[in-house]
Amino acid sequence: MGKRIIGIDLGTTNSLAAVWENGESRLIPNAFGEYLTPSVVSVDDDGTIYVGKAAKERLISYPEKTASVFKRHMGTNKEYFLGKKRYMPEELSAFVLKKLKEDAERYLGEEVEEAIISVPAYFNDMARNATKRAGRLAGLKVERIINEPSAAALAGQKQNPEEDAVVMVFDFGGGTLDVSLVECFDNVIEILAVSGDNQLGGEDFDNMIARYFILRNHLEAEKLSAETFAVIKKSAEKCKRDLTDHKSAEMVVNCAEISAKTEISRKDVTEFCLELFDRMRKPVFRVLMDAKVSADSINNIILVGGSCKMPVVQQYLKHILKRKDIETREPDRMIALGCGVCAGIKERNEDVKDMLLTDICPFSLGVGIANLKYPEVESGLMSFIIPRNSSLPISKEEVYVNAFDNQEILHMNIYQGEAMYTKDNILLGQMQAEIPPKPAGQVACKMRFTYDINGVLEVNMHIPLTGEQKQLVIVNNQLGMTEDDIRKKLEEYEKLKLNPAESDENRYVLEWGERLYMQCSGEFRDEILQRILYFDHVMSQDLYQIPKVRKYLTVFFAYVEKIMETYVNIDSSIFEDEDWYDDEEDEETDREFKGWNEEDDE
C-alpha cells in the first residue's frame, strides 16, 4: 500500500491513533497494548525524553522535568522549562505525535507519512497552525486538521448510518469542553454550530476535589511541596474515577509530608463543584441558540471524552436538556475512531469515499471600520464578513467606502474574534490601497473573504474606481497576541478600574451587553452593538443621561435574554435550584456492562 495515513486524537490528557483497515476504523495499540497514551512529556538528566505512561509517573517524582496539559497553551508563547532546556507547547506535542507515529509503524509494519489531527473546534488559527507545526516536527505531513466534534459525529454516523438526525456532540475531556450540533443526512455530515469552554475539563474536577480534601483536612495549601501537591492531585483523580463506579469513595493520601483521608460522595461533588456545572451549561444553550434548534428537536446526544463517564455529569446533562436517553458508549474513543474514518476518506478507500464531510468556521472573521459616530472611543469597530458557524468552504464579499473626505490611503485590517471593538480581537493581517481624493463615502472597496476547509483564509481587495486588486493569503499567521501584548492589556485594564466616572452598575450593564453580543450571532448583534455604543458615548459625554439609558438597556438586554431562552426552550429558573442531583436515580455503575475501562484503569 505504501504511504499510510493515520488519524490522531491529540488530547489534552490522552492521545490516541486510528487507521482505516478492512472497511472500518481501528484504534492502534501502543507498546503497552493500550489505546490511550497520556499526553505527558518528561526529560531525563542525560537528555532522554519520555512520553506517555512513563512520563505520567514522573509527574510526581520529577514535576520540574515533566510537562502535561500543554495543549491548553498551543499557539501561545508559553515556555516550559524541563531540566535545563526550554520547550514550546508545539514541541511537546511533537514528542507525543512522534510516539504515536512510531507505535503505528510498528503495528502496521509500514511507514506512516501523513496524519489527520483533530483539534477542539474552539482552537483559533494560531493554535491550529501550531498543531500543524507539531506534526511537521514529528516527521508527519499534516494537510488536514479536523474539528473534534466533526470526528466524533463521523464515528457516531458510522455506528448508525441509516439515521437522519440532529445530533449534539458533548465532548468533555481533561482540559476542554466542546459542544456541537451536527446534522446527519444521507452521507453528509454538516456541523450546524459549535460552542465551548477551552478552560474547563476533568482536571478542574481533580483540582476541586484536591481543594476539598485540603480544606477538610485543615492543610495549608501554600506550605505543601510540589511533590505532595502532585500526590494529592493524583489521589483526587483516582477518587473521581472511583466515584464513577460508586456513590462514594475514600480519598487517601500517604506521603512523606502528610497522611490523611476523606470520604467523598457524588452528592458532595455536585455541591463543591457547582461552579463547574454552571460553566458546563452555558455552551450547551449557546449552541442551540446559534443553530436555532430547540432542545427537544435533538435526536441523539453523543457523549465524548473521559469526563463524560462521570455519572454526575451525565445526570446534569439529562437534567438541563430534560431527557432520559443519552448514549454513553466508549466516550474516550469516539474522536480517534472518527479521525480514522477521516484518514480512510483521505486515502480514498472505496468503502468510505462517498461520505461527505463539511466543516464550520468556529469564529467570526472580518475587517475593522472607523467608529465615526463616537470617535472618542479609541478603537475601530468590527465589521463581520464571515460570521461564526458558517459552513466551509465559504466565500463572501462586503463593500466598504472611504470614511473621510480626500482620504489618500484605505487601510483594511483583518481580524478574527467575536468582540465588537477590534482592539479586543486578533489581528490576522493588514492591507492597504491608494485611492483618488474624493468626498467621504464615494470610493468603494470590495473585500472578499474566502475560507477553505483547511483553515486557509484568502482575502481579495478590489477598488472598482481605480481597478486595483490585491490579494492576501493568511496561512501560517504568527501575528496576534503575544504574552507581552497580554500583559500590556492587563495593565490597561488596571487603569480602567481607577476611573471614578464608571460605577459598578454601568460596568455590569456594559459587560452584560458585551456578553449578549458575543453569544448572539446574526440579527441581534447590530441592535445590541448600537445600544452599547450609545451607552459608551453617554458615559463619557452626557453624565445626566446615564441612569435613564442604563435602565433602558437593562430592559432591552433582559428582553434579548428571554428570546435566547425561548430558542433553548427551557425555563432558566430551574438552574437556580441547586438541588438537581438525585441520589436515588444514580445507580452504581456496572463496570462489565459499560465496558469502557478495561485498560485505562491502572
**Active-site positions?**
9, 71, 148, 171
597 binds ligand ADP (CB under 6 A): yes
Residue 168 is placed in which grid cell?
A: 449534539
* Contact of 459 with 429, CB cutoff 8 Å: yes
* Contact of 385 with 449, CB cutoff 8 Å: yes
Cα–Cα distances in Å, from 176 out to 72, 147, 156, 193, 564? 8, 13, 20, 17, 24
Q: What's the min distance (Å) between Cβ of 338 and ligand ADP? A: 13
- Using the minimum distance from each CB to ligand ADP, give the nearer residue, 71 or 550: 71
- Per-residue interface string for the shown chain with Mg ion, residues 166-185, x marking contact by CB under 5 A: -------x------------
- Using the minimum distance from each CB to ligand ADP, give the nearer residue, 327 or 527: 327
- Using the minimum distance from each CB to Mg ion, give the nearer residue, 56 or 531: 56
Q: What's the min distance (Å) between Cβ of 554 and Mg ion? A: 40
89 binds ligand ADP (CB under 6 A): no
- Using the minimum distance from each CB to ligand ADP, give the nearer residue, 69 or 188: 69
User: Which helix (DSSP H) or strand (DSSP E) does residue 42 occupy?
Assistant: strand 40-43
- Please name which of 415, 359, 353 lies closest in space to residue 382, comparing C-alpha atoms: 415
Q: Which member of 11, 75, 149, 480 binds ligand ADP (CB under 6 A)? A: 11
Q: What's the min distance (Å) between Cβ of 406 and ligand ADP? A: 55
Subset of residues 209 to 268 that bind ligand ADP, contact rule: CB under 6 A: 237, 240-241, 244
201 binds Mg ion (CB under 5 A): no
- Please name which of 415, 369, 328, 409 lies closest in space to residue 595, comparing C-alpha atoms: 328
Cα-flanking dihedrals φ and ψ of residue 487, to 5°?
-60, -45
Q: How would you write 68-113 as a 3-class SS string?
A: ECHHHHCCCCCCEEECCEEECHHHHHHHHHHHHHHHHHHHHCCCEE
12 binds ligand ADP (CB under 6 A): yes
Residue 227 CB contacts under 8 Å (≥ 6 apart), including other chains: 60, 61, 63, 255, 256, 257
11 binds Mg ion (CB under 5 A): yes
Which part of the chain contacts ligand ADP (CB under 6 A), choosing from 7-15, 181-189, 381-389, 418-426? 7-15
- Orientation of helix 226-245 relative to helix 202-216, angle to 10°: 110
- Please name which of 541, 515, 538, 539 lies closest in space to residue 528, comparing C-alpha atoms: 515
Peptide bond into 393 cis (omega under 30): yes
Residue 302 CB contacts under 8 Å (≥ 6 apart), including other chains: 152, 153, 156, 167, 168, 169, 170, 327, 334
User: Which helix (DSSP H) or strand (DSSP E) does residue 427 occupy?
Assistant: strand 426-434
Q: What's the min distance (Å) between Cβ of 115 and ligand ADP? A: 17
- Using the minimum distance from each CB to ligand ADP, give the nearer residue, 305 or 480: 305
Subset of residues 372 to 391 that bind Mg ion, contact rule: CB under 5 A: none
- Using the minimum distance from each CB to Mg ion, give the nearer residue, 62 or 123: 123
Rounded Cα distance, 17 and 37, in Å: 9
Residue 562 is placed in which grid cell?
A: 428571554
Residue 514 is placed in which grid cell?
A: 458585551
Find which of ligand ADP, Mg ion, none residue 597 binds, CB within 5 to 8 Å per kind: ligand ADP
306 binds Mg ion (CB under 5 A): no
Q: In 3-state terms, what secondary structure has residue 490?
A: helix
Residue 289 is placed in which grid cell?
A: 441558540
Rounded Cα distance, 287 and 122, in Å: 13
Q: Which member of 29, 305, 362, 480 binds ligand ADP (CB under 6 A)? A: 305
Q: What's the min distance (Å) between Cβ of 306 and Mg ion? A: 8
- Using the minimum distance from each CB to ligand ADP, give the nearer residue, 277 or 451: 277
Cα–Cα distances in Å, from 523 out to 118, 151, 291, 382, 570? 32, 30, 13, 15, 22
Cα-flanking dihedrals φ and ψ of residue 434, to 5°?
-80, 140
Q: What's the min distance (Å) between Cβ of 70 and ligand ADP? A: 11
Residue 301 is placed in which grid cell?
A: 446526544
Rounded Cα distance, 514 and 242, in Å: 41
Find which of ligand ADP, Mg ion, none residue 332 binds, CB within 5 to 8 Å per kind: ligand ADP
Subset of residues 275 to 304 that bind ligand ADP, contact rule: CB under 6 A: none
331 binds Mg ion (CB under 5 A): no
- Please name which of 312, 327, 320, 332 lies closest in space to residue 248, comparing C-alpha atoms: 312
Find which of ligand ADP, Mg ion, none residue 283 binds, CB within 5 to 8 Å per kind: none
Q: What's the min distance (Å) between Cβ of 69 and ligand ADP? A: 9
Q: Which member of 104, 194, 310, 568 binds ligand ADP (CB under 6 A)? A: 310
- Using the minimum distance from each CB to ligand ADP, give the nearer residue, 305 or 417: 305
- Using the minimum distance from each CB to Mg ion, give the nearer residue, 73 or 550: 73
Subset of residues 128 to 167 that bind ligand ADP, contact rule: CB under 6 A: none
Find which of Mg ion, ligand ADP, none residue 76 binds, CB within 5 to 8 Å per kind: none
Q: In 3-state terms, what secondary structure has residue 391?
A: strand
Q: Which member of 203, 330, 418, 514 binds ligand ADP (CB under 6 A)? A: 203
Q: Which member of 307, 371, 389, 521 binds ligand ADP (CB under 6 A)? A: 307
Q: Which member of 309, 319, 531, 550 binds ligand ADP (CB under 6 A)? A: 309
Rg from Cα positions in the chain: 26
Find which of ligand ADP, Mg ion, none residue 359 binds, CB within 5 to 8 Å per kind: none
Q: What's the min distance (Å) between Cβ of 117 and Mg ion? A: 12
Cα-flanking dihedrals φ and ψ of residue 458, to 5°?
-110, 125
Subset of residues 173 to 202 that bind ligand ADP, contact rule: CB under 6 A: 173-175, 201-202
Closest residue (Cβ) to Mg ion? 173
Which part of the chain contacts ligand ADP (CB under 6 A), choosing from 8-16, 90-98, 368-376, 396-404? 8-16
Q: What DSSP character marks residue 589?
A: P
Instruction: Return left, alpha or beta for 47; rule: phi > 0 is left, psi -120 to 50 is alpha, else beta.
Output: left
- Using the minimum distance from each CB to ligand ADP, give the nearer residue, 91 or 203: 203
Q: Which residues bind ligand ADP (CB under 6 A)?
A: 11-14, 173-175, 201-203, 237, 240-241, 244, 305-307, 309-310, 332, 597
Task: Give the interface with Mg ion as residue ranges (CB under 5 A).
Answer: 11, 173, 305
